[in-house]
Amino acid sequence: MELTKISVRQISGVSALKEGELHAFGVFTVNDLLEYYPFRYEDYRLRSLSEVKDGDKVTVQAKVFGIPVLQRYGKKSRLTCKMMADEWMFNATWFNRHFLKDQLTPGREITLTGKWDLKRQQMTVSESEFPDKGTVRSGTLQPVYSVGGKITQAWMRKTMNQALAQFGGMISEVLPPELVQKYKLMPRSRAIQRIHQPLDSEEGQQARRRMVYEELFLFQLKLQAYRAMNQERMDGVRHEVDNATVREFVRSLPFELTDAQKKVELEILKDMRSPYCMNRLLQGDVGSGKTVIAAIALYAAVKSGYQGAFMVPTEILAEQHVRSLTKLFEPFGITVGLLTGSVNGRKRKDLLASLQMGMIDIVVGTHALIQEDVFFRALSLVVTDEQHRFGVNQRSILRRKGFNPDVLTMTATPIPRTLAITAFGDMDVSTISERPKGRKPISTYWVKTDMMDRVLGFISREIGEGRQAYLICPLIEESDKLDVQNAIDLYVAMQQAFPHFKVGLLHGRMSAAEKDEVMRAFYANEVQLLVSTTVVEVGVDVPNATLMVIMDADRFGLSQLHQLRGRVGRGEHASYCVLMADPKSEVGQERMKVMTETDDGFEVARRDLELRGPGDFFGTKQSGVPEFRIADMVGDYAVLEAARDDAAALVAGEAFWTSPVYAPLRQYLQAEQILQGELID
Ligand code: ADP
Ligand code: MG
């Protein structure tokens, strides 16, 4: 019987009630419990008072020396007693442990853990044990678990010991012997034992190292096996489009592709022409020209006789893409449709019918686009963004509709390599590593909020030279309504400040038609200054805009600031970003510094990760970044990379799929539903 199949109820001392409480921690089986690792250790190793600094927490072996004195204050109490440890005499003090008084008989041995006050030669005791009653903790490192509800630390420790005693012998190795050897890892059974009961910190470290590797290896194995099997599947669409046809379109573009763009274009076309199902991530800094790459892929799909879908996060962006794609594709007779939440009624019906009949080649829209009641004549390519990353569910919805399209995922945020191979390890990655030539760097300034007059002067100067500007309102997180009011107030103030310019307003509460009209006017330079909330954050492309002013910039995260800044610097004119902020926190100041020091998105992302930690990086759980039990994505990055290479090499070999040595790993993949032919998210 495997430990993954034995319920925690089988551990003696685990009642139905406690079992229920354990479920709240995601612990169902004995294996789950054994993998419920401590997040640190409490040091109960015995020390001598002669080596202890003032204020340290310490455990000492002592003898009761004097007569205990108990003072009561209502329900509270204070117990003091003279103690002797080695040659040291000191006072031990307990709070609210009146019941100990009778047990403190002179000469009795006692183990005390507490905080040492050097000046007063006194210890405030937090835990005490009598060796004559059988000791549990003293002399050891004790694990500290994350606990709560009816599960106490003491209960958890006891239960873990019980589980190890009962089931420790059944822990079997999962890692292949060559990898255990390669990294000199502890065998699994000893590592699990020692992670809960380390004899010393070195051993605890070794146990942890082993379990970190295992966790990262198994995680990568899932991704790599999924990838390998996906590549075996030959049921993707084989796009047949020749180079001459593609070149014709590329030549029609108003610019020449950068070398980096050409490289990723080839990678994508190669995938599309193959019978394998493409699952590729396209990443590149803001303004590096990802959209045109998406356009080439969509063009190739249509020219092969199929349809494409382009999913984007906002309606504004959907409308922008429809406009620009229509312009690019019109000469080639390719039709583009728009499908968002605000397309409804008759218009929506017509659009759905055209899609189904194949009268529309490309549809741009928000997420609903590929679900619901939407049918295609022949969908073969889906371009989407990071937030709408394709999981199993979407793929299987499409399969059920009879499609198995190639998928191209674009990231709006450059992702540090660390996270890329973790969150997107199942994908192939294409990176646009340079921005189009002739782009000038964006000069970024950080000014105090009382410099509004000078900022207004700056806006006036840029617009006077024929350029356009964005003014991003402070973000008011608590209240959508206040947010909007704020934007409106600022809009009114700007109209007064700039009577000679046209000022526009954009916020999330406007109707789609209103937003569309404002954006259209801004594209057309009928509006010169756009006062906006962060709705313009992603993707908006107005090359003539050269100034981005962000108010209360310290309220925004780094990647968001970088995205906002990316709205300028998209044409041949020098561009500027002004951050207005008086950050009080150190992190806030650091963010402003990062922004003024670099405009390289990968560098910004790296610094962001440092400041925030990986947990916060993507904001939401659905981003695909897994939560590890023991590994730390940043700290254990080197292990993660090694594990990925090991897993990839393993699944590439024939032996992995056939040899009995790897049976435990294959079973694991089966349990994780990867080997059934079903896909993972
Ligand atoms: P992003 O990677 O942020 O999505 P876009 O695709 O919006 O970037 O491109 C930014 C701007 O650069 C757009 O105006 C686009 O037309 C332009 N552009 C894209 N590729 C090139 C190129 N090779 N040379 C010059 N301009 C380009
Ligand atoms: Mg293909």
Report whether residue 606 contacts ligand 1, using a CB cutoff of 6 Å.
Answer: no
Q: Cα(647) to centroid of ligand 2, in Å?
A: 25
Report the pLDDT value the prediction gives residue 612, as an integer from 0 to 100. 66
| pLDDT confidence band for 616 (50 / 70 / 90) | very low
Mean pLDDT of 129-142: 78
Q: Cα(291) to centroid of ligand 2, in Å?
A: 20
| pLDDT confidence band for 250 (50 / 70 / 90) | very high
Report the pLDDT value the prediction gives residue 381, as an integer from 0 to 100. 94
pLDDT surpasses 90 at 170: yes
Report the pLDDT value the prediction gives residue 620, as an integer from 0 to 100. 34
Q: Which CATH number is 45-139 given?
A: 2.40.50.140
- pTM, full prediction: 0.67
Judge residue 169's burial from the number of C-beta atoms within 10 Å of its C-beta, 0-12 exposed, 13-18 middle, 19 or more buried.
Answer: exposed
CB 21 within 8 A of CB 151: yes
Q: Which CATH superfamily is domain 243-273+289-411 in?
A: P-loop containing nucleotide triphosphate hydrolases (3.40.50.300)
Pairing of strands 40-43, 141-144: antiparallel
Packing angle, helices 315-329 and 512-523, rounded to 10: 50
Strand runs labelled E in 235-299: 279-284
Q: Cα(404) to centroid of ligand 2, in Å?
A: 9
Report the pLDDT value the prediction gives residue 293, as an integer from 0 to 100. 97
Is 565 in a helix, a strand, or coil? Answer: helix
Report whether residue 292 contacts ligand 1, using a CB cutoff of 6 Å.
Answer: yes
Report the residue among 255, 317, 328 best suited for mutation to probe ligand 1: largest number of ligand atoms under 8 A from its CB: 255
pLDDT surpasses 80 at 425: no
Q: Cα(642) to centroid of ligand 2, in Å?
A: 30
CB 11 within 8 A of CB 104: no
Q: Cα(291) to centroid of ligand 1, in Å?
A: 7
Report the pLDDT value the prediction gives residue 624, as an integer from 0 to 100. 46
Report whether residue 257 contacts ligand 1, using a CB cutoff of 6 Å.
Answer: yes
Q: Which distant-in-sequence residues (6+ apart) come within 8 Å of 62 by Cβ?
A: 83, 84, 85, 92, 109, 110, 111, 112
Q: Does domain 443-598 have CATH number 1.10.10.1100?
A: no
Give, for 213, the enclosing helix (H) or strand (E): helix 201-232
Better pLDDT: 167 or 417:
167
> Would you give the DSSP letter of residue 29?
B
pLDDT for 18-41, tens place per residue? 999 999 888 999 999 999 999 888
Report the pLDDT value the prediction gives residue 246, as an integer from 0 to 100. 95
| pLDDT confidence band for 626 (50 / 70 / 90) | low
**Cα separations in angstroms, 638 against 192, 218, 642, 656:** 22, 15, 6, 24
pLDDT for 51-79, tens place per residue? 889 999 999 999 999 899 999 998 899 99
Q: Cα(14) to centroid of ligand 2, in Å?
A: 53
Give the best-scoring range by mean pLDDT among 33-42, 291-300, 437-446, 605-614: 291-300
Report the pLDDT value the prediction gives residue 315, as an integer from 0 to 100. 82
CB 451 within 8 A of CB 584: no
Q: Cα(436) to centroid of ligand 1, in Å?
A: 7
Report the residue among 264, 292, 327, 468 best suited for mutation to probe ligand 1: largest number of ligand atoms under 8 A from its CB: 292
Torsion sign, CA atoms 513, 514, 519, 520: positive
Report the pLDDT value the prediction gives residue 392, as an integer from 0 to 100. 54
pLDDT for 392-418, tens place per residue? 566 667 766 768 889 998 886 766 666
Among all bound ligands, the one having the nearest atom to the CA of 306 is: 2
With CA atoms as reference, report the closest residue to 38 among 136, 140, 146. Answer: 146
| pLDDT confidence band for 617 (50 / 70 / 90) | very low
Q: Bridge partners of 64?
A: 83
The two structure tokens encoding residue 657: 């799929």
User: Could you give the maximum distance between any two Cα atoms of the chain, in Å?
Assistant: 100
Report whether residue 288 contacts ligand 1, using a CB cutoff of 6 Å.
Answer: yes
In this predicted structure, which of 16-25, 329-338, 468-477, 580-589 has the lowest mean pLDDT? 468-477
With CA atoms as reference, report the closest residue to 240 among 329, 309, 167, 302. Answer: 302
pLDDT for 330-385, tens place per residue? 999 999 999 988 888 898 999 999 999 999 999 998 877 776 688 899 999 999 87
Mean pLDDT of 92-121: 93
pLDDT for 190-213, tens place per residue? 999 999 998 888 888 899 999 999
The two structure tokens encoding residue 512: 């789609």
pLDDT surpasses 70 at 574: yes
Q: What are phi and psi of 88, to 5 degrees?
A: -95, 135
Report whether residue 99 contacts ligand 1, using a CB cutoff of 6 Å.
Answer: no
| pLDDT confidence band for 621 (50 / 70 / 90) | very low
Better pLDDT: 137 or 120:
120
The residue length of the chain stands at 681
pLDDT surpasses 90 at 227: no
| pLDDT confidence band for 485 (50 / 70 / 90) | confident
Judge residue 548's burial from the number of C-beta atoms within 10 Å of its C-beta, 0-12 exposed, 13-18 middle, 19 or more buried.
Answer: buried
Report whether residue 414 contacts ligand 1, using a CB cutoff of 6 Å.
Answer: no
Domain coordinates in residue numbering, the chain: 45-139, 243-273+289-411, 443-598, 637-679
How far apart are alpha carbons 62 and 266 in whole angstroms?
A: 75
Q: Cα(223) to centroid of ligand 2, in Å?
A: 19
How far apart are alpha carbons 310 and 292 in whole angstroms?
A: 12
Report the residue among 281, 541, 563, 604 best suited for mutation to probe ligand 1: largest number of ligand atoms under 8 A from its CB: 541
Q: Which distant-in-sequence residues (6+ apart) come within 8 Å of 136 by Cβ?
A: 129
Report whether residue 431 contacts ligand 1, using a CB cutoff of 6 Å.
Answer: no
With CA atoms as reference, report the closest residue to 534 among 393, 361, 412. Answer: 412
Is 128 in a helix, a strand, or coil? Answer: strand
pLDDT for 520-534, tens place per residue? 899 999 999 999 987
Amino acid at 617: F
Report whether residue 290 contacts ligand 1, using a CB cutoff of 6 Å.
Answer: yes
Q: Bridge partners of 7?
A: 29
Q: Percentage of the chain surpassing pLDDT 70? A: 89
**Cα separations in angstroms, 95 against 44, 69, 80:** 20, 12, 9
CATH fold match for the domains 45-139 and 243-273+289-411: no
